[in-house]
Chain A
């Protein structure tokens, strides 16, 4: 016998995993250092399929890492830097304890630091890989830039985050890459398309801060360290792809415009430039300054296997995108004090508009309230004080809704004091049978180029709105009320349609030669199947029938609702044709 017996837990999946504490001891690091290293290198714990096997028979909850990953970590140079830092802290503590202030100064000046560039290059070998991971980086950087500059986390990190976010926003403005915006109760969601990648990020509101206590700040700070490095390199590459100078400089012409006398009132000299950039009101300088070239018509190379339809569809899409990029071209906006300036300035500039604000709000305002060429003045109060004639006074939701609808919406619904239409989410893709809110239907109609709503439609929609308001009050009978009202309005509609039809059309009675009825075999099959189904339903047991009825009721209700909405559209069509005919 002897040693040829197989021992348990020596081969198989056990040999692939290692517990967290063992890994830490192998690397000779403390636990926070180990965590930081894992975050920086992108090494995550794994849950093994058979926990009992890997845990050598016990089911205690443990964190497992793959052994290959830990062995890979042993070759990392910043592990040495962590150990140096530990030694530094020990020496510093000693000097503090002995009150040797000169030693403290000397040690502080030679504090060991590390750089993460090689890690970025290793984790993201190509630029597109980095772009795929940029969502997280953007969210973190925007979040940190809204933190207050107390000493809790390094002020340098917050400053760096602010710089990077401003650079990113300037890039998006220059590339006109923004596609969707959504104001939610959490924050503002943006989606941009950069080099074919759709990037979504969330910007918190500036004024919302209650720092929750159960968030681990060290972990977040480590992630931010990594992400700031990543975002910086990505910014560099993106700026170069657009032929812009990096670090960004304001266009010389724009800079002259922005030159003001009392710049010291706004910011320290060192921060003045960053503040001007963050105002987003001026364009950036290019590397090779040339006059704006006309966009050359790209040659159309049909992809293999693509028919004319797809080609046309692609062309149409491209044209739509081009049209969308110039949404606010030629429009001049002015922002009142109470509206969120940064968000609005960003999105207006992204679509080609010009924007300005009051001088006392922030640096970088290009024109004053009194300018006569202003087309839209964005106010959020119930009434505006002085009214200029040739400009629209509208609420800020108009801008966001225009961007999501990709057209310039009529301004009437957004005047001051008017109840705003609901702000719909552009991130929702509705399928065929789903419910579409009436506002969305209206917007789609506008997109297709139809004329704005007529009186009858307005009345019906007002009815609906009133009904909706009533329903919001009572929560219990909402469904019943809804159905009743819908039925009533449906009946009204039908009556109207009948009247119009009877007025408009005239009966055409003529004798025509008979047509042969072709028996469609497919139709016959379908009819047979329907018959069979009906028979099967009749033969079901009582219990089953009851369940079946319930399911069908739910489905029918959905279909009825959709039909009702479609009916509305048809109604509007009919109204128009009827009115245009005579």
Chain B
């Protein structure tokens, strides 16, 4: 990074290099003062795009022409070239190095050591410090979905006590109920033979029939709803009926009303008289009579019961038959209930707000059937099929796509321009 910065500085210091940014900044003047003496803030507030563009350009030139074509030499450079045939005197001082011998000796020694294969301590430290290869991101290699991850024998022999020894704790036991499958359905249900790409006639018809029945059912339900909501045309209000309703009881029926009122009055009077008779006390006679009636009633019932008992002897056969019938019916009901329970097990359970919606049967109509594998057009989506299968087997609850709900209602405001018009 230091080298890049140095290069940028060198390029920026080229005589022909226009620094646009500096000029624009000096012209505009008023700009927020930022401190660029720390790395973070320098990274944030400096714009090196122009430099990058230039470098990119140079690189492109190099790539396309093969050799690094330098841009057309500057006029000043041409002027400063040396045209004279006499070479300039060699500047001895420039070539002098005070410790040349020392350096030569060191390099020779290093070569000898390298030839022998000895690595000095210093070199070792340098080599160990420098990371030559860029490591792959730790997060990528340790992630669970790394495509080059290693697998090992997870079911190999592992001593159970190792965990106990190391940590002094026992592992938490997994509840046994969790090992039960939530559904008896198999994981992959193969489609009926009519779903083959080149099906046999009868099985295809059978599959079409199934799909047809589903459609018929749906249609029936829709029809039922329509019927329930249907309105008889005769019942709709016409103007006549409306007027009649409004006028009802107002104009011609006053006489009838009066008669009705009188009748109502009479009834009330009678009720009033009947009410007064209830206040009288019961006489002795009446009480005795009531008692005698009660006893008679009891005796009657008793004799009836005895008669029934006696007759039941003769009715044994029919009683047996009726008992048998009852038992039979209870048995049948039990069987049906058990069968229902068994069927329930293979049904998806209701696990949440939404009910399970079975997906449509995948079937191709007779004219959609392809004659060859090349012309086959696939039906249905395996992704959706797997999703529904997971719901069917009670592994997840049925879910719907989440709708976008606004937290606050939108306010609509007219623009000023419109307000002026309307």
Bitwise, B178-219 to A at CB < 8 A (1) or not (0) is 100010001110111101111111110000000000000000
| Contact between chains at B378 and A220 (CB < 8 Å) | no
Bound together, the chains give a CA A183 to CA B376 distance in angstroms of 10
Q: Is A354 an interface residue (CB 8 A)?
A: no
CB-defined contacts of B385 to chain A, threshold 8 Å = 186, 202
Partner of B202, one of A127, A139, A184, A437: A437
Instruction: Report whether A69 and B383 are in contact in the complex, using a CB–CB cutoff of 8 Å.
Output: no
Chain B residues closer than 8 Å to A44, beta-carbon distance: 182, 394-396
The residue in B140, B144, B182, B366 that gathers the most chain A C-beta atoms within 10 A of its C-beta is: B144
Q: How far is the CA of A47 from the CA of B182 in the complex (A)?
A: 11
Q: Which of A130-164 contact B (CB under 8 A)?
A: 130, 133, 135-136, 139-140, 143, 154, 156-157, 159-160, 163
Point out the residue from B178, B201, B382 that lies within 8 Å of A468, measured CB to CB.
B201
Determine if B188 and A66 form an interchain contact, defined as CB atoms under 8 angstroms apart.
no
Beta-carbon contacts under 8 Å, B141-190 to A: 142-147, 149, 151-155, 172, 174-175, 177-178, 182, 186-188, 190
> Contact check: which of B44, B153, B394 meets A240 at CB < 8 Å?
B153
Query: Which of the four size classes fits the interface of chain B?
Result: 35 or more
- Which of B155, B192, B202, B396 sits near A237, CB closer than 8 Å? B155
Cα A325 to Cα B149 in complex, Å, equals 33
Contact call A396/B186, Cβ cutoff below 8 A: no
A339 within 8 A of B: yes
Across-interface contacts of A42 in B (CB, < 8 A): 178
- Per-position binary interface string of chain B over residues 263-279, scored 1 when its CB falls under 8 Å from any chain A CB and 0 otherwise: 00000000000000000
Residues in B whose Cβ lies below 8 Å from that of A127: 155
Q: Is there contact, CB below 8 Å, between B147 and A63?
A: no
A200 contacts across to B, CB distance below 8 A: 186-188, 190
Chain A 192-219, CB-CB to B under 8 Å as 1, else 0, gives 0000000011101101101111111001
- Closest-CB distance, B234 to chain A (whole angstroms): 38
Stretch of B289-297, B346-354, B404-412 on the interface side: B346-354
Complex Cα gap A537–B334 (Å): 29
Near A by CB (< 8 A), chain B positions 359-384 give 362-364, 366, 371-374, 376, 378-384
Does A425 touch B at the CB level, under 8 Å? yes
Question: Within 8 Å of chain B (Cβ to Cβ): is A526?
Answer: no
B83 CB, nearest partner CB in chain A, Å: 52
Provided the pairs A61-B350, A340-B373, A397-B373 are in contact, do residues A160 and B147 lie with their beta carbons within 8 angstroms? yes
Contacts A109-B138, A160-B147, A183-B197; is A202 near B44 (CB within 8 Å)? no
From B366, B378, B383, B395, give the contact of A143 (CB < 8 A).
B383
CB-CB nearest in chain A for B137 = A109
- Interface 0/1 of B222-240, CB less than 8 Å to A: 0000000000000000000
Within 375-422 of B, Cβ neighbours of A (below 8 Å) are at 376, 378-387, 390, 394-397, 399-401
Q: How far is the CB of A203 from chain B (nearest CB, A)?
A: 8
Distance A340 CA – B186 CA, assembled complex (angstroms): 28
Contact of B382 among A100, A115, A202, A424 (CB under 8 A): A202
For the complex, give the distance between the alpha carbons of A159 and B177 in Å: 35
Complex CA distance for A576 and B351, rounded to whole angstroms:
63
| A368 contacts chain B at the CB level, 8 A cutoff | no
Q: Is the CB of B188 within 8 A of A135?
A: yes
The answer to whether B197 and A185 have CB atoms under 8 Å apart is yes
Taken residue by residue from 169 to 194, chain A's Cβ proximity to chain B (1 for < 8 Å, 0 otherwise) reads as 00000000000001111110100000
**Interface: A102 (CB within 8 A):** yes
Cβ contacts A to B, 23 pairs, < 8 Å = A44-B182, A45-B397, A68-B175, A72-B175, A115-B144, A156-B143, A157-B145, A160-B145, A160-B147, A160-B149, A184-B195, A185-B362, A185-B380, A211-B381, A214-B401, A228-B145, A232-B151, A233-B154, A236-B151, A380-B373, A425-B196, A468-B201, A472-B201
Cβ-closest 9 pairs across A and B: A425-B193, A111-B139, A159-B147, A135-B187, A208-B378, A422-B200, A204-B382, A47-B349, A232-B151
A interface residue numbers (CB < 8 A to B): 35, 39, 42-47, 61-63, 66, 68-69, 72, 75, 99-102, 108-117, 120-123, 126-127, 130, 133, 135-136, 139-140, 143, 154, 156-157, 159-160, 163, 182-187, 189, 200-202, 204-205, 207-208, 210-216, 219-220, 223, 225, 228-229, 232-233, 235-237, 240, 246, 338-340, 380-381, 395-397, 419-420, 422-425, 427-428, 435, 437, 439, 468, 471-472
Interface contacts beyond A232-B149, A435-B202: sample of 4 additional A-B pairs, CB < 8 Å, sorted by A: A75-B172, A160-B146, A207-B378, A339-B374
